[in-house]
Amino acid sequence: MNIFRAMKPEKVYKSLAEMPWDILAQEGIRTALLDFDNTLGPDHATEPEEYSYNCIKMIQEQGIRCCLVSNAKSGRSAKIAEMLDIPCVTFAKKPGTSGVLKAIEVMGSTKDESVMVGDQIFTDVIAGNNSGVRTFMVEKLHKQEIWYVMLKRPLEKIVRAMAHF
């Protein structure tokens, strides 16, 4: 048994913008479940940045619909999702699976047609893997992050070194 099974993403990309959304679309992916903080925008930002809008547009142009799946308080992530004009599941409780599964339902999608993408192993990757969707990790978008996320980064490094990703 591989103890890293739930922690290992299918692949790590430098950023959302560098993911092969055209190929994912060809493979039947129709729904992108996206973390916000340091995946689609700055950590703990109250608004999207230009990069966020560009990523959503780029993904949608491949016929893939986007949904935010955020552990953030409902007010902040709901406002961000509204500005980006995409649906949102707040209080997603990642690494639990309830938020991811709810997002798939909200999107009228299936596990086979969905991917989860986020920047953290111990929330996004585990939630995606345990929900049974294809799961990708991106490197953190900006250096700046809140202290309790910084605390987890050294542990991520150990997992990544041991599980080779």
Task: Give the residue, chosen from 35, 113, 145, 156, that forms a contact with Mg ion under the rule CB under 5 A.
Answer: 35
How near is the Cβ of 140 to Mg ion at its closest, in Å?
Answer: 7
> Does residue 156 bind Mg ion (CB under 5 A)?
no
Instruction: Provide the 3-class DSSP secondary structure of residue 69.
Output: strand
Least Å distance between CB 113 and Mg ion?
Answer: 23
For residue 117, list its beta bridge partners.
34, 136
Q: Nearer to Mg ion by C-beta: 111 or 152?
A: 152
Task: Name which of residues 100 to 119 contact Mg ion (CB under 5 A).
Answer: 119
Among 38, 52, 71, 131, binds Mg ion (CB under 5 A): 38
Residues 10-29 that bind Mg ion (CB under 5 A): none
Which is closer to Mg ion, CB of 17 or CB of 25?
Answer: 17
Q: Which is nearer to Mg ion, 46 or 110 (CB)?
A: 46
- C-beta of 25 vs 76, nearer to Mg ion: 76
Q: Which amino acid is at 6?
A: A
CB 67 within 8 A of CB 34: yes
From 43, 54, 59, 57, select the one nearest 115 (Cα to Cα): 59
> In the beta sheet, which residues pair with residue 68?
34, 88
> How far apart, in whole angstroms, are the C-alpha atoms of residue 35 and residue 110?
18
Separation CA 86–CA 64 (nearest Å): 12
Instruction: Report DSSP state, residue 152.
Output: T
Site size with Mg ion, rule: CB under 5 A: 5
145 is a site residue for Mg ion (CB under 5 A): no
- Which parts of this chain interact with Mg ion (CB under 5 A)? 35, 37-39, 119
